[in-house]
Amino acid sequence: MPRSLDRTLGFTDLLFIVIGTVIGSGIFIVPATVLRQTGGALGPAMLVWFVAGILSLLGALTYGEMGAAKPDAGGLYSYIRDAFGPLPAFLYGWTTFFVIGAGSVATLAVAFTSYLRQLIPVSPGAGKVVAVLLIALIAALNVRGTRQSAGVQNVSTGIKAIAIIVMSIALIVAGGAPVSTASMWPAEMTTGLLSGIGQAMIGVLWAYEGWHMVTFSTGEARDAQRTFPRAIIAGTGFLIGLYMIANVGYVAALGVEGVQATDRVAASAVAASFGPSAGKLIAVVILVSMFSAANGLTLTAPRMYYAMARDGLIFRKLGEVHPRFGTPAFAIIAGSTWAAVLAATGTFEQLLTYVVFTGWIFYGLGALSIFVFRRREPDAPRPFRVPGYPLTPILFVLASSAIVLNTLVTQPGRALVGIAGVLSGVPVYLLWRRRAAGRPTVAPDEA
């Protein structure tokens, strides 16, 4: 029997994977866009951040039940596979490998070099080298051991979370920007304002995206039936509080008008309160933040490729566990190599622009899986049951659908290209199924 992944991750590890994978650079930039989209009204802007967080929490609660009941490697991929069959699950894995996962790592690596330029001079050519080296470093760390990479994830995530909290409190205490009553709520609710709030909601949901990545690591969690739901729910709840206090800090330092006037709101807020030189500290925090997010993606996504390989849907090599390090080493190397190619060529920008929204189709499918499992296996053990069922998963499915439909309506060309990219995996799936016929597949990890 081929070796399976060891269960080495505890509650704290899973918690920091959730937090670290979500927080990249969005909270340092997006608040300005949200305020502009909501007409400069602070009340609707803060409400958008809160409601989007609650919708994400509904997804976390839903996935918490399935992860506790099915604590195997593969997470969201396995929920879709078991509920709706291997084809949609494969298409999710196909899209994640070639675009969403690798493209996100490439984006973070390239953005890392951009912020590095605020500290030291980096030429465009050297920037690409730095991006590729960063991806290689993270890949090597993750190949060497899950326990080691999780430890680095815990430290880097702790640093950026504490830094954001300290920054926010300092800005609130030191900030002297007045907030008038008139800037809190609009005088009337117009069609344009409602449209802007809708756009802001979708943008903020993107900022919260990534908490689901921890599902891929369920197969390596100790006492997953208990630790996984607690971690995904607590992590998502913590993010809501963190994002809310950061927004309050920015407004306290710059005022509503000041926040809208900058595209680097965190750096501008710190510079306004503590001087230009203090703004460089934000660059350091963002560098740590992006490293942590890239490490979190590399720590989780290859576990899905590992599960796909054991289902016989991709190269079997990706389903092997390194005999010394106990990690899906080849899956990590394969995903990171492709991410490095995207970073070096810059093609990740085009890929992500067209395809990344399709991830929400699969997030919605993942939440719909709970209805299938509840109907098909009514008496199966469920150590954690999602509160508010069936309303909780229904609301999350509606939120996922809203993102997809908004893209289809507002950017039909982009949406159609993205969907075509996903469907390009269908002939590949058929080829692999034919190739897998006649040979046994490797059973998934035991729970």
pLDDT of residue 1: 46
Question: Residue 182 and residue 167: Cα distance in Å, rounded?
Answer: 27
User: Which residues are registered as beta bridge partners of 9?
Assistant: 221
Mean pLDDT of 362-387: 95
Among residues 45, 405, 16, which one has the least CA distance to residue 210? 16
CA 426 to chain centre: 25
Q: What is the three-state SS of 398-424?
A: HHHHHHHHHHHHHCHHHHHHHHHHHHC
pLDDT of residue 181: 58
Mean pLDDT of 43-58: 94
Q: Model pTM?
A: 0.92
Query: 196 falls in which pLDDT band (50, 70, 90)?
Result: confident
DSSP classification of residue 438: T
The answer to whether residues 283 and 29 touch, using CB atoms and an 8 Å cutoff, is no
Phi, psi of 71 (to 5 degrees): -80, 60
Q: What is the C-alpha R_g of the chain?
A: 22
Mean pLDDT of 14-19: 97
Number of H helices, E strands in the chain: 18, 0
H-only helix segments in 70-121:
76-84, 86-95, 102-116
Considering only 158-172, 313-327, 405-419, which range has the smallest mean pLDDT?
405-419
Select the more confidently predicted residue: 438 or 257. Answer: 257
pLDDT of residue 423: 95
- So what's the architecture of 11-436 in CATH? Up-down Bundle (1.20)
For 426-447, the pLDDT digits (tens) are: 999 998 888 777 555 444 444 3
pLDDT of residue 254: 92
The answer for 314, left when phi > 0, alpha when psi is -120 to 50, beta otherwise, is: beta
Q: For all residues of the chain together, what is the average pLDDT?
A: 90
